[in-house]
Amino acid sequence: MDTTPFFTQDTIIFGILMLTLGFVFYTSTSKNKSWQKFYKYIPALLMAYMLPAFFTTTGIISPEWQTVNEVGEITKHKSQLYYVASRFLLPAALVLMTLSIDLKAVFNLGPKALIMFLTGTAGIIIGGPLAILLVSMVSPETVGGAGPDAVWRGLATLAGSWIGGGANQAAMLEIYQFNTKNYASFVIVDIVVANIWMAILLLGIGKSKKIDKWLKADTSAIETLKEKVSSYSSKNSRNPSLADFMVILGIAFVVVGASHWGANSISNFLSANFESVSDKTSAMSSFGSQFFWMITIATALGIVLSFTRLKQYEGAGASKIGSVFIYILVASIGMKMDLTQILDNPGLIVVGLIWMAIHVFLLIFVAKIIRAPYFFLAIGSKANVGGAASAPVVAAAFHPSLATVGVLLAVFGYVVGTYGAMLTAELMRIVAP
């Protein structure tokens, strides 16, 4: 089936995404009372995420599509915008947002961020088998199957993605040998359910003070960190010159280049010299992921630079430029969501929604007990479910200085992803009909 969208050129699609971001920021800062009332309830970040999803759903743009020629041959096409945003702009944003970070203040946030991350991981591990158990009582065929077609094997790939990331997901596909012909259905479940939860999290950011009050959370450490960064920025604030912008972009993209070079070198070295890394069925295979090392190196270099004189470029707007890159990434992530996919395989979507609901319920339960702020709940979840591409986006929505916290937890997610997913898979194997 031909699924060609109205616009297929990345240059045009990028223009549409930038028009969308321009519209969102223009209206969200407008003095018009109607817009002010609208954005009081709907955060600008959520609009930057949902409008591209709307364009994809209506066939105006698409992250991927296929064409059929006269003899019936199918050709698959893919937009490169998300790849560019996640591989070029994301590491650049991480560097610029980390440049002004106070590492001591990050550590002073305490153990609650890590507790919420581990709670999110636990929610995924127990959520999978519980979702299978609940759905099997009503519709056993939805979660049944045998051999390579067994649904629990496909859900194991979902566990890899939701605890770690793409590399962990690929590892689970290799380990449990799920039928690749049916794999697309589980990719859709991943995209739809994860993006629905992302939208809900973004909606909650606008109401974070009310949520924190309900959780009886102590946000003093977070506020102290934000105040330190804001204070430093205001003290060193200046009217940026062209030279400032060029130096800021120079810092960002030199680190991006170094991160890619380092990631390629480390990934190739480990894959060539350690069988456990090159073996896709190994729990260590995520260490062969170039994306994992790129994010790790970019964050590490950003932290190192925060101890140098380059930190002063925060006063010229380094984190603001980083925020621009983050919003472009948000728009490209939103473009990946087609709302009509919810109807493609409703049974599996229901399994995914129940699974995610258990993950969320456990996070809320623990947050209430330990009085963790909504910020820790949000990044604890996205460091699992969204990984390094989404966690800093959500963290930066609270404040640019908090992006590093999201990244550090997401990197940890890559490390434990395959192990956690294997435990989830074995539990699902036990309860599967």
Question: What tens digit of pLDDT does each residue of 189-217 get?
Answer: 888 888 888 888 888 888 888 999 999 99
Is the confidence at residue 11, as pLDDT, over 80? yes
100 and 69 share one domain: no
Is the confidence at residue 356, as pLDDT, over 90? yes
Is the confidence at residue 88, as pLDDT, over 90? yes
Q: Which of 76-85, 206-215, 386-395, 420-429 has the lowest mean pLDDT?
A: 386-395
Q: Which of 24-28, 143-147, 246-250 has the lowest mean pLDDT?
A: 143-147
**Among residues 79, 97, 112, which one ends one of the domains?**
79
Above pLDDT 90, what percent of the chain?
A: 32
22 and 126 share one domain: no
Question: What DSSP character marks residue 308?
Answer: S
**Among residues 28, 45, 79, which one ends one of the domains?**
79
- pLDDT-derived band at 353 (thresholds 50, 70, 90) equals very high
304 and 318 share one domain: yes
Average pLDDT over residues 58-73: 87
124 and 54 share one domain: no
Q: Classify residue 270: in a domain, yes or no.
A: yes
More confident residue, 355 or 45: 355
pLDDT confidence of residue 281: 60
Nearest-angstrom CA–CA distance, 113 and 84: 30
Nearest-angstrom CA–CA distance, 417 and 167: 9
112-127 pLDDT tens trace: 888 999 999 999 999 9
More confident residue, 166 or 62: 62
44 and 174 share one domain: no
Q: Which of 27-31, 82-86, 149-153 has the lowest mean pLDDT?
A: 149-153
Is the confidence at residue 300, as pLDDT, over 90? no
Contact indicator for 154, 186 with CB cutoff of 8 Å: yes
Please give the backbone phi and psi of residue 104, each rounded to the nearest 5 degrees, phi first: -60, -40
Is the confidence at residue 60, as pLDDT, over 60? yes
Q: Classify residue 157: in a domain, yes or no.
A: yes
- pLDDT-derived band at 280 (thresholds 50, 70, 90) equals low
Please give the backbone phi and psi of residue 64, each rounded to the nearest 5 degrees, phi first: -155, 150
Range of the domain at 145: 84-431
Q: Classify residue 4: in a domain, yes or no.
A: no
70 and 91 share one domain: no
pLDDT confidence of residue 391: 82
Q: Classify residue 70: in a domain, yes or no.
A: yes
Q: Classify residue 5: in a domain, yes or no.
A: no
73 and 203 share one domain: no
- Provide the number of structural domains found in the chain: 2
pLDDT confidence of residue 25: 92
What is the pTM (predicted TM-score) of this model?
A: 0.76
**Among residues 52, 79, 106, which one ends one of the domains?**
79
Contact partners, residue 136, CB within 8 Å, separation at least 6: 142, 143, 144, 431, 432, 433
The SS3 of residue 231 is helix
17 and 43 share one domain: yes
Q: Classify residue 323: in a domain, yes or no.
A: yes
Q: What is the mean pLDDT of the chain?
A: 86
Nearest-angstrom CA–CA distance, 267 and 283: 15
173 and 302 share one domain: yes
Q: Classify residue 274: in a domain, yes or no.
A: yes
Average pLDDT over residues 134-141: 88
58 and 109 share one domain: no
218 and 293 share one domain: yes
72 and 95 share one domain: no
Q: Classify residue 3: in a domain, yes or no.
A: no
Per-residue CA distances from 28 to 34, 209, 324 (Å):
10, 20, 15
